[in-house]
C-alpha cells in the first residue's frame, strides 16, 4: 500500500530526471571530440571547448519541442498524481495522471524516432548518452502510465 | 540605510559626468534579407548632450572575407552624401532623421555580393568618444527557418490544445450539471435529489474516459 505508492512515486521521479537530463544535455550524437544535438554542437579542439548553436533544421526543432513537451507532461502528471492522491474518492483510478504520463511517453517516442530517422549518417559518429536516456525513458514512462491506469485508491 | 543611499547617490553623481562624454551607438546585430529586396539598416545613438547641429553619421562597409572597409555614406553639416562610385551607387538612400538621432540608410535591390558588415559611426560634438557599432547583413535566396520558431510553434499548439481540452471538459461538466438541474426543476424535487446524488456518486475521473472517447 504505502510501499506501492512510494515505489510508483520513485519511478515517476526517476523518469522525470531521465527526461530532464536527456533534454538538457547536448549529447545525442557524439563522435571523437565532438558532441552535438539538441541544443549545441560542441567541439573540443586543442584550443579548448567551442560550442555553437545546433542547426536550425526543422526536424531538430521538432525533436526539441517534443522532448520539452514530454518533460512538461511528465511534470504535470506528477502534480496530477499528488493532487489526485489527496482529492480522489476512495476506489477511484488515477486517470488524469495516467493520461499525462502516457502522452509524455508518446512524445518521447516520437522525438526519439524522428531523431533516429533524420539524423545524418556519418561513419565516425555514434549516438550519445542523452539519446540512450530518451529511449530508456520511453518504456519506463509507458509502464508508469499503465500502472496509474490500474492503480486504485484504497478504501 | 539612509546614509548608504546618500553615499550611493553622491558616488553616482560623481561618476556620471565622466561617463557622459561617451556616445553609445545602436545598430542591429544581424539582418537577414532576400535577394532583390530592400533593407533598412538602422543606426541611432545615445548621448548625454543635446543633439548638436554638427552631428555626423557615417556608414562603412566591409564585404565578407575582405579586410578593407569602404566608406559608403556620410552625413555632415546638414547634408547627406551617399555612395556614387562604390558598390552601392544608386542603391543607397538616406532615410534617417538626424534631429531625432536616427542615421538609418536604405539599401535597395540587394545582391549576394552585399553580404558583409556595415558599421555606423555617429558623432555628436562635443560628445565624440564612442565605439562604432556594426550590423551584419546576410542575403539569402530564401529566408531560412530561424532557430526555435518551429519548436515554439509545436509547444504552443500542444499546450494550447491541452488548455482547450481542459476548458471544454469543465465547461461540459458545468453545462451538463446545469441541464440536469434545470430539467429536474420543472419536474419533481425528488428527481432533482436523485440527479444530484448521481452526479457525486461516480468518481469524477470516470468522466474523462467517456468524454475523450
- Furthest-apart CA atoms within chain B: distance in Å: 95
Distances (CA, A) of A80 to A34, A94, A148, B19: 40, 8, 11, 55
Q: What is the dihedral of CA A42, A46, A48, A52, to 10 degrees?
A: -30
Q: Best of B158, B161, B200, B208 to disrupt the A interface by mutation (most A CBs within 10 Å)?
A: B158
pLDDT at residue number B211: 41
Closest CA to B158 of A130, A77, A112, A104: A104
Q: Residue A125 CA to chain centroid, in angstroms?
A: 22
Chain A positions touching B150 (Cβ under 8 A) are 58, 61-62, 65
Distance from the Cα of residue B45 to its chain's centroid: 18
Mean pLDDT of chain B: 80
Residue B181 has what pLDDT? 61
**How many residue pairs from chains A and B have C-beta atoms closer than 8 A?**
57
Grouping H, G, I as helix, E, B as strand and the rest as coil, residue B73 is: strand
Contact yes or no for A65 and B145 at CB 8 A = no
Kindly state the cell numbers that stand for B124: 555628436
Q: State pTM to two decimals.
A: 0.59
Answer yes or no: do A95 and B209 touch at CB < 8 A.
yes
**Taking CB atoms and an 8 Å limit, are B144 and A64 in contact across chains?**
no
Res B208 pLDDT > 50: no
Burial of B213 by CB count in 10 Å (0-12 exposed, 13-18 middle, 19+ buried)? exposed
- CB contacts of B204 in chain A (<8 Å) are 89, 92
The predicted structure's pLDDT at residue B210: 43
C-alpha cell at A88: 480522489
Sign of the torsion angle spanned by Cα atoms B160, B163, B169, B170? negative
Which pLDDT band holds residue B206 (cuts at 50, 70, 90)? very low
Task: Choose among A53, A64, A88: nearest Cβ to B203.
Answer: A88
Q: What is the mean pLDDT of residues B132-159?
A: 88
- Residue by residue, pLDDT tens for chain A (155 residues) are 788 889 999 999 999 999 999 999 988 988 877 888 788 888 888 878 888 888 888 899 999 999 999 999 999 999 999 998 888 888 778 888 999 999 999 999 999 999 999 888 777 778 899 999 999 999 999 999 999 998 877 76
Model pLDDT, residue B14 = 55
Question: Is there a contact between B78 and B53 (Cβ–Cβ < 8 Å)?
Answer: yes
Cell of B42: 538602422
pLDDT of B156 > 60? The answer is yes
Residue of A101, A109, A103, A98 whose CA lies nearest to A136: A109
Q: Is the pLDDT of residue B193 over 60?
A: no
Contacts of B30 in chain A (CB under 8 A): none
* Residue B153 with chain A: CB contacts under 8 Å: 65
3-state SS class at A77: helix
The β-bridge partners of B24 are: B46
Sign of torsion over alpha carbons B82, B108, B71, B48? positive
Nearest Cβ partner for B155 among A58, A65, A94? A65
- Give residue-wise pLDDT tens across range A70-105: 999 999 999 999 998 888 888 778 888 999 999 999
Amino acid at each position: 500500500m504505502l510501499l506501492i505508492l512510494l515505489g510508483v512515486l520513485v519511478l515517476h521521479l526517476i523518469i522525470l530526471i531521465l527526461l530532464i537530463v536527456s533534454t538538457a544535455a547536448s549529447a545525442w550524437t557524439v563522435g571523437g571530440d565532438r558532441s552535438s544535438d539538441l541544443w549545441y554542437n560542441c567541439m573540443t579542439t586543442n584550443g579548448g571547448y567551442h560550442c555553437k548553436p545546433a542547426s536550425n533544421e526543422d526536424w531538430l526543432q521538432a525533436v526539441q519541442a517534443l522532448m520539452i513537451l514530454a518533460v512538461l507532461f511528465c511534470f504535470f502528471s506528477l502534480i496530477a498524481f499528488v493532487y489526485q492522491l489527496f482529492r480522489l474518492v476512495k476506489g477511484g483510478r488515477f486517470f488524469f495522471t495516467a493520461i499525462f504520463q502516457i502522452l509524455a511517453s508518446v512524445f518521447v517516442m516520437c522525438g526519439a524516432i524522428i531523431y533516429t530517422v533524420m539524423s545524418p549518417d556519418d561513419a565516425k559518429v555514434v549516438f550519445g548518452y542523452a539519446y540512450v536516456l530518451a529511449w530508456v525513458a520511453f518504456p519506463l514512462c509507458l509502464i508508469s502510465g499503465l500502472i496509474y491506469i490500474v492503480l486504485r485508491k484504497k478504501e | 540605510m539612509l546614509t548608504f543611499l546618500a553615499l550611493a547617490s553622491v558616488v553616482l553623481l560623481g561618476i556620471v559626468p565622466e561617463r557622459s562624454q561617451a556616445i553609445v551607438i545602436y545598430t542591429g546585430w544581424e539582418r537577414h534579407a532576400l535577394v532583390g529586396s530592400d533593407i533598412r539598416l538602422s543606426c541611432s545613438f545615445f548621448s548625454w548632450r543635446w543633439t548638436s547641429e554638427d552631428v555626423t553619421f557615417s556608414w562603412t562597409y566591409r564585404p565578407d572575407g575582405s579586410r578593407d572597409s569602404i566608406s559608403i555614406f556620410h552625413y555632415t553639416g546638414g547634408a547627406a552624401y551617399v555612395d556614387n562610385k562604390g558598390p552601392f551607387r544608386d542603391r543607397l538612400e538616406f532615410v534617417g532623421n538626424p534631429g531625432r538621432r536616427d542615421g538609418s540608410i536604405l539599401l535597395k535591390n540587394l545582391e549576394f555580393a552585399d553580404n558583409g558588415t556595415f558599421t555606423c559611426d555617429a558623432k555628436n560634438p562635443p560628445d565624440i568618444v564612442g565605439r562604432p557599432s556594426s550590423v551584419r547583413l546576410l542575403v539569402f535566396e530564401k529566408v531560412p527557418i530561424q532557430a526555435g520558431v518551429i519548436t515554439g510553434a509545436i509547444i504552443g499548439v500542444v499546450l494550447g490544445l491541452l488548455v482547450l481540452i481542459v476548458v471544454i471538459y469543465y465547461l461540459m461538466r458545468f453545462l451538463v450539471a446545469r441541464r440536469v438541474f434545470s430539467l429536474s426543476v420543472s419536474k419533481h424535487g425528488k428527481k432533482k435529489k436523485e440527479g444530484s446524488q448521481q452526479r457525486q456518486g461516480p468518481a469524477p475521473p470516470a468522466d474523462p474516459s467517456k468524454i475523450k472517447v
